[in-house]
Structure 1
Amino acid sequence: MTERRGVVVGYDGSRQSEAAVRWAAEAARLRGVPLTVVHAWEMFSAVGPMAIPVADLRAAAEEVVAEGARHARDVAAGVDAHAVLGRGGPTTALIEAAAGAELLVVGSRGRGGFTDLVLGSTGVELAAHGPCPVVVVREHRVEGPVVVGVDGSAAAQEALGLAFTEARLRGADLVALVAWPADADPGPAPLVDAAGLREFAGDRLTRIVAPWREKHPDVAVRTEVVTGPPRQVLLTAAKDAGLLVVGSRGLGGFRGLLLGSVSHALLHHAACPVAVAHAPRD
């Protein structure tokens, strides 16, 4: 599937996927692009008197995805929503459908897996391997600023671009954050100029954000250097945010991993929708 898809959203009839469809439909409406609602189905072999014919399984899956498209049209008037029934597992079907898309949106949990988990495996896999920015929606929230975590990495640059776009489309403020480690503040006899280093971090954040300010002069931007580990700083900021945007991987950790520990934690615990942007594949 290589044609332009606009915004792609996964739907399986669960409460979380309904929230994802509402968020995705609004995102498509704001962008003026089509919305593709995807449901994946697999043909399971069954034995015994309760086996369900394949035709019935497919018909049920078609009704589910059609329901998702109807729901999208109901919540976002005028959005061009159409249904696609993907074959195979949900991760494979959604990655295929999202080729050429602007956003891929999923709920925090679907119908499969262990219901006591906070985030389903599909959301984690898509955040790591998605062909476009991935938004994981726990609840449909549009109020509040767009918050973006910045650390100077290539993925964080992509996150900044996405955050400015979302803030402009939604008429929201944007807050760009750098987490300043608490152990960088020395005791009464400092060996380094901690205040000077913190000021340098703030100046660097301002410089990183400056080109995006020029591209989006109508977005109100606030930059902050906040003391604390990145995970906690961003989780705190997410409590009052309409959207939290992060890069898939920052500057720390093992560079071979596709999804960093901070991004992984935010997907599991942030109170607002989380968008994960990827560094250029090359």
Structure 2
Amino acid sequence: MAHPAFKSQPPAQTYGVVSFPARHVMLVVFTRPRALNAMTSAGEYELEALFAWYDKEPSLRCAIVTGAGRAFCAGMDLKEWNQRSLRRAAGESEDRPMNPPSGFGALSRRHGKKPVIAAVNGLAFGGGMEILANLDLVVAAKSAVFALSEAKRGVVPNAGSLPRLVRTFGRPRTMQLALTGRSITAAEAKEWGLLNAITDDNADDCPVLERPVVKAALDYAVAIAGNSPDSVIIARASIIAGWEDGSAENASRLNCEKWDEHLDDSENMSEGLLAFVEKRAPKWVDSKL
């Protein structure tokens, strides 16, 4: 996994397989296919360290997450959750919370600095759906299925998805999803506003990078990575501020106060304007934000 362009190397992973399929792009494959990529708490903390590293690594500009096998992610490992519940009932304490501060899979409550795209290759249930509720772009294969099925197991999807999904889906649809536990198709998810695109399915033995859904996500990632990394970081922060805060004007004011001076002084803004004047492609440098 060593990469000479990086200032430091990514932290070791046992749940996610990390690769770099294009310049400035990181791909993370959730790799526990026999368990439908259900996550253990240890795997979540590994991912939190990975995405913290991704935000700090100057040469990386966009990330993609997908799943091995026939699932994107089936949520939390319920066997581990049950063991934690039994220990709690016995009065035993845990060393740390089940989920890291950045939420389920280190993504469901992550703000971060750089964008993350989902390539949903199969079912996204429970925590898998919670991850998608907070990602920047979502592409899905046409046979992908989505659900918040926690109510069927006596638990609640409380890793950040419900307050976010109500902004995307609206109250009636979010209520339907969370209270009935029913699944929805990729077509419904796109109609409801979750998906950017739907792709063809792939053959069972298709390598990850050959999957249509991963190719589509990679196309988005390469397009993002080809733009000014400063512009991407600031535009993303502005969108998230408006979504989280609820006030468009307040979010605009705060983001101008925080970012305008940094952008005006940046090499990439100067380069982008000069490249336009000189009628050539800009040559971006790694962001210093």
TM-score by structure 2 length? 0.26
| Structure with the larger helix share | 2
* Bigger Rg, which one: 1
RCO higher in 1 or 2 (8 Å CA, sep ≥ 6)?
1
